[in-house]
Amino acid sequence: SVHSDERTGRVIVFAAVDNLWKGAASQAVQNLNLMLGLGEAEGIW
């Protein structure tokens, strides 16, 4: 998420990185790819 602090003039960014290839997000993409008939690693690499 991105927020701006007008009082200080700063932008605050919060982010999370799924750096595990078999993390939950990657597993969800892999499952969706299989359901749609795409290659398992499409969009992961």
Write the DSSP string, 1-45. -EEEETTTTEEEE------STTSHHHHHHHHHHHHTT--TTTTT-
Q: What is the token pair recorded at 17?
A: 């990185």
User: What is the number of domains present in the chain?
Assistant: 1
Q: Encode pLDDT of 2-27 as tens digits.
A: 999 889 999 988 877 666 666 788 88
Q: Encode pLDDT of 31-44 as tens digits.
A: 999 999 999 888 87
Q: What is the token pair recorded at 11?
A: 């932008």
Considering only residues 1 and 31, tell me which one the structure prediction assigns the higher pLDDT. 31
Instruction: Establish if 13 belongs to a structural domain.
Output: no
Q: Which domain holds residue 25?
A: 18-45
